[in-house]
């Protein structure tokens, strides 16, 4: 069964021109962009030909008149590195402007209302609320800690909005283009 047949069997309408369909395999995420003419060969950004016949993607792509774009799957370790870099920038900003702690408190308040039916998220928010009562130096230390606890805390960091979207993208792009660590 190809991607198109799978969608039809669930009673969904075919994707509209310009929409995006993601197909996740064990090693890659394939993004099918509908409505594009002259689809390129089905291959990864590493130049390796994708086993399209096994995945029936070539058949799907021709039926849908779409291009297949290969997007590498990001490893958790890479996500953790970016998260740490973002946390370091947030900590620097908090040291310069401690009033930004209010952004985190407001986020937690809003998120608690929005996710009131999720006990696991509420536990994370309560943990952060307790941390935010501590001295600023301790908060920043926990935020940038290179430990399991620091990593755990960064996964639900309430500091969204402290950095501008441009700063976040700059950090992510720099990490994405950095040489792989050994």
Q: Considering its fold, how many domains does the chain have in total?
A: 2
34 and 46 both lie in a single domain: yes
In a domain, 10, yes or no: yes
80 and 158 both lie in a single domain: yes
Q: What is the pLDDT of residues 125-153, one digit of tens each?
A: 999 999 999 999 999 999 999 999 999 99
**Mean of pLDDT values over 162-174:** 91
Q: Which of 91, 75, 74 is nearest to 153 (CA)?
A: 91
65-82: b (≥16 Cβ within 10 Å) or e: ebbbbbeeeeeeebeeeb
163 and 109 both lie in a single domain: yes
Q: Which of 61, 87, 75 is nearest to 155 (CA)?
A: 87
Dist CA 38 CA 67 (whole Å): 7
In the listed set 72, 93, 112, which residue is the last one of a domain according to the structure?
Answer: 72
Q: Is the pLDDT of residue 40 over 90?
A: no
Helix (H) or strand (E) holding 142: helix 136-143
55 and 80 both lie in a single domain: no
Q: Domain range spanning residue 145?
A: 76-176
Q: What is the pLDDT of residues 50-100, one digit of tens each?
A: 444 434 555 555 555 555 554 555 677 788 899 999 999 999 999 999 999
What's the predicted TM-score (pTM) here?
A: 0.59
44 and 112 both lie in a single domain: no
In the listed set 12, 39, 72, which residue is the last one of a domain according to the structure?
Answer: 72
């Amino acid at each position: 069964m190809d991607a198109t047949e799978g969608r039809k069997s669930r009673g969904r309408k075919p994707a509209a021109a310009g929409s995006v369909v993601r197909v996740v395999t064990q090693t890659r995420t394939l993004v099918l962009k509908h409505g594009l003419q002259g689809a390129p060969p089905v291959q990864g950004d590493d130049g390796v030909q994708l086993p399209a016949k096994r995945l029936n993607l070539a058949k799907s792509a021709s039926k849908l008149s779409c291009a297949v774009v290969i997007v590498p799957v990001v490893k958790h370790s890479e996500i953790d590195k970016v998260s740490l870099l973002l946390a370091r920038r947030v900590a620097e900003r908090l040291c310069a402007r401690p009033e930004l702690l209010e952004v985190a408190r407001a986020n937690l308040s809003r998120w608690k209302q929005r996710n009131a039916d999720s006990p696991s998220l509420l536990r994370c928010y309560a943990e952060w609320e307790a941390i935010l009562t501590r001295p600023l130096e301790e908060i920043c230390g926990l935020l940038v800690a290179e430990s399991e606890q620091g990593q755990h805390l960064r996964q639900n960091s309430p500091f969204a909005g402290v950095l501008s979207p441009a700063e976040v993208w700059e950090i992510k792009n720099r990490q994405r283009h950095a040489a792989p660590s050994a």
